[in-house]
Each structure stands twice: as C-alpha cells, then as structure tokens.
Amino acid sequence: MVAPLNFPLNLPLAKSGVDRAAHFRLDQGKLDSLWAQGKITHFNGEKFLTDENGLVFLEPTSIGHGERYFLGVDGSGVAYFLFHSETLLAPEENYHLLREAQLNDLHIGLAVHGQSLALWHKRHPHCSMCGAGTAPAQGGAVRKCPSCEAEHYPRTDPAIIVLTRDSNDRILLGRQQVWPEHRFSTFAGFVEPGESFEAAVVREVKEEANVKVHSIEYIGSQPWPFPASLMIAFSAIIEDPSNAKPDGEEIVDIKWLDRDSIVEQLKAETLLLPPPLSVARAMIDAWYIADGVERPRLDSPESWR
C-alpha cells in the first residue's frame, strides 16, 4: 500500500504576513499617506537590499527616482512597499537574490510579491493594444496606457509539478541537461491553453518519462517568481514503471529512489536534490517521512543552476 504524503507541505514561498488590502489601490491619496509612513524595501531588478535580519526597510525621504508598488498592510496597520530602480542605494554586496537571502515568513511574502510585480513591469512597458508606453497604476497592480486607456494586469503562468511513485512507493526523478551534475528533481511543465491541471500532469509525465499515471491528487501550490510562474503540486501513481525512460531532450536521465537509496546516494554525492525553497523539495521531503519511520534528515548541497 502506498502511504499518503503528509499534509500540509512546507512551502516557503507560499507564506505571507500581510493583507494585500486591494481596496487601497484605487485611492491614490491613501497610498501616498501610507507611503509616507510605510516600510519600503528596494529591489534593483534582480536583487533585494538585505542585511543579517533580512530585508532592509528604507525611509521614503532616502529614495530617488523609480517605481513604487504597494504590497500590503500588516496586522498593526503598517504598510509595505517595494521600490524598484536599477540604482543601488547601498554597496553591491548588500544586495542578494531571493534564492540567496535568509528571510522570515513576513519578508519572504513581501519579496515574492514584490519581485513578481517588478519583473512583470520590467517586461511589459508597452500597451499590447496600441503599442504606446504604459505606466504603473493602482499601486503597481496595473499598467495603464495613456493613449488608448487600456489596462494591463500582471500575468502568472501556471505550471504543474508532480511527485510520481510506483506501487512499491519508490519515487521517479528526472535530470535536465542544463542542471549541475547529479541534480535530479520531480517532473514539471507549463499548462497549455485549454488544458486542465490533471491533463497537464498526465501529458508532462508521459512526454518526459514515458510512463502513464493515475490517482492524481492535488497537494499544494506556491508562487515561483523566476520570473512569473505558479507551481501547482500533485502526486500521482505510475501505472507502467517498467516503461520509464527519459525523453532524451528535456530529460536526459531518470532515477528510481526508495528511502534508503536516497540517503545512500546523498552520502555518496551521486545525488543532488532540489533546493529547499522549491515545491519539488517539499514533496520529496514529505514523501520521505510519510511512512512514519524515523530516519536522518535529507541533507543536500545547494543545487541552483
């Protein structure tokens, strides 16, 4: 019997400590007053200004030209904003990627929201209707065209990610050519137009690993702002494990793992797992403890590209 995964998954990027307070976005006067008293973090288009406590919050008077995005209000009524400019406001070594920074739940939620907005604004400077330049509106939640008055909203690309198991509760992982040596992860892919999440799970696993899956179960989701994805996580059971093979294009190798072999291969340094921020790692960790047996924790070096 295949044991169910433990719920809920520990998904770091799905955490948030603020109310997005969307009703304030339509009141520019309110946004201005919140800005004057708010906490403002800086994103330079790639990295956040940080220190040993996480995000650094600036005073509005210390900020020059750039775009500002309203992120929300905490339980004490404190407003948070992201200031987006390519100009550094501190030494370069004080800026860190979201993947590198050590952030608490409040700071993670702010950074994920802020980075998602900033990257969208950077990539969509013109109106898709008439081609004119657009400008941020509604606290950064919209870009508005001054020519045709069209409003453009941030997009998120849905992608499924799935932990596949056989009837013996082994997991099947795949490796992409562009990854570091020995790096393996769960299967994933973008949802195509007109496709359901479940259909995308079946299609992606078949395309990448040549196996059919059933008993598809939703187990969680989290934003993945690299640059604009939402990862929707599922588990599924492989119907025909003997047919498993990599497609040779996106996936160049596959690996079957049980709970003992995953520990052995980590110790032998023949396996790198996805990083802790990822949905893939959360699913693997959940599977690892799902049978209730006490084992050493899964330690794996960082394995970003």
Task: Specify whether 238 is located in the same domain as 250.
Answer: yes
Closest CA to 79 of 129, 23, 122, 132: 23
Judge whether 224 lies within some domain.
yes
What does the pLDDT read at residue 15?
87
Task: Specify whether 96 is located in the same domain as 55.
Answer: yes
**Residue 165: CB atoms within 10 Å:** 22
Judge whether 295 lies within some domain.
no
Which among 153, 169, 198 is the end of a domain? 153
Closest CA to 15 of 298, 293, 282: 282
Judge whether 189 lies within some domain.
yes
What does the pLDDT read at residue 10?
85
C-alpha–C-alpha distance, residues 221 and 49, integer Å: 27
Q: Average pLDDT by consecutive 10-residue portion of the chain (305 residues)? A: 72 92 97 96 97 95 91 96 95 95 94 97 96 97 98 97 97 96 97 98 98 96 96 97 97 98 96 94 94 89 63
Q: Which two tokens stand for residue 114?
A: 């802020």
Beta strands in 156-299 (DSSP E): 157-165, 171-176, 187-190, 213-224, 229-238, 251-257
The boundaries of the domain holding residue 53 are 14-123
How many structural domains comprise the chain? 3
Task: Specify whether 23 is located in the same domain as 35.
Answer: yes
Q: Which residue has the tokens 């109310």?
A: 19
> Can you name the residues that pair with 49 across neighbouring β-strands?
95
Task: Specify whether 183 is located in the same domain as 264.
Answer: yes
What does the pLDDT read at residue 64?
83
What does the pLDDT read at residue 49?
98
Q: Are 199 and 132 in contact (CB under 8 A)?
A: no
Task: Specify whether 167 is located in the same domain as 280.
Answer: yes
Closest CA to 173 of 289, 243, 271: 271
91-101 CB burial, b ≥16 within 10 A, e <16? eeeebbebeeb
Task: Specify whether 147 is located in the same domain as 101.
Answer: no
Task: Specify whether 21 is located in the same domain as 110.
Answer: yes
Task: Specify whether 230 is located in the same domain as 137.
Answer: no
Q: Which two tokens stand for residue 287?
A: 């599977």
Task: Specify whether 225 is located in the same domain as 110.
Answer: no
Task: Specify whether 45 is located in the same domain as 74.
Answer: yes
Judge whether 117 lies within some domain.
yes
Task: Specify whether 25 is located in the same domain as 37.
Answer: yes
Chain center to CA of 74 = 22
C-alpha–C-alpha distance, residues 299 and 273, integer Å: 8
Task: Specify whether 119 is located in the same domain as 219.
Answer: no
CA atoms within 13 A on the CB side of 165: 24
Judge whether 109 lies within some domain.
yes
Judge whether 301 lies within some domain.
no
What does the pLDDT read at residue 257?
98
CATH label of the domain that carries residue 269: 3.90.79.10
**Residue 239: CB atoms within 10 Å:** 13
